[in-house]
Amino acid sequence: MLPLYLLTAAKNKPVLIELKTGETYQGDLVNLDPWMNLTLSNVIHTNTGADEFSKETEVYIRGMHIKYLRIPDEIMDYAKEQNLLNMEQRNKNVKRRGGDRNQSGGGGRDHRRGGRGGNRRFQGDRHYNNNHHYQQRDNE
């Protein structure tokens, strides 16, 4: 599992961030991007010496300054579950596409070409044929 995927699963959950400077931020993860830049809400900020604290309603943290993140243990299971659901969904889609290709035999290539946005318009009849195969299979 990718670290960013896990982190995405931790949205709206409490997280603890330590920056390279040693400062820590504790708060609810609002959003993140592919660079691990984060926004947190309801934040408690602790300085490097851990002797000064301050409260912030919202902060934005640049990913490159992060040393590590601590996230709730249960996020791991949650992320795995989500991953599994996504995989199942994808498998379903692949199966559907694969089945279609088998049915139409040599026409499989046509279907693939038809699947691309631009060409689709000019291959309306072929596309229709593919749908026809679909119906046939369903009737069998």
Partner 1 sequence: MSDLKEFMGKKVHVITADARFFEGVLQGYDNSTNIILQDCIERILYSEEDVDEENQEIPLGLYIIRGGEVACVGEIDPAKYATIDWSTLKASTLKTTKNPL
Could you tell me the two tokens for 132? 């026809």
Residue 87 engages partner 1 in binding (rule: CB under 8 A): no
* Residue keyed to tokens 């044929």: 129
Type of residue found at 90: R
Q: Of these, 48, 50, 53, 64, which contacts partner 1 (CB under 8 A)?
A: 64
Return d(Cα 56, Cα 17) in angstroms, integer: 14
Q: Of these, 7, 38, 40, 61, which contacts partner 1 (CB under 8 A)?
A: 7
Residue 1 engages partner 1 in binding (rule: CB under 8 A): yes
- Side-chain-facing half-sphere of 42: CA atoms under 13 Å: 8
Residue 68 engages partner 1 in binding (rule: CB under 8 A): yes
Q: Of these, 23, 24, 71, 127, which contacts partner 1 (CB under 8 A)?
A: 71
Residue 67 engages partner 1 in binding (rule: CB under 8 A): yes
Residue 6 engages partner 1 in binding (rule: CB under 8 A): yes
* Angle (CA) 118 123 129, round 5°: 135
In this structure, the strands spanning 38-46 and 14-19 are unpaired
Q: Of these, 11, 20, 95, 96, which contacts partner 1 (CB under 8 A)?
A: 20
Q: How many residues are listed for the chain in this entry?
A: 140
- Based on CB atoms, which residue is closest to partner 1, 70 or 97? 70
| Contacts with partner 1, residue ranges (CB under 8 A) | 1-7, 20, 36, 63-64, 66-73, 75-76
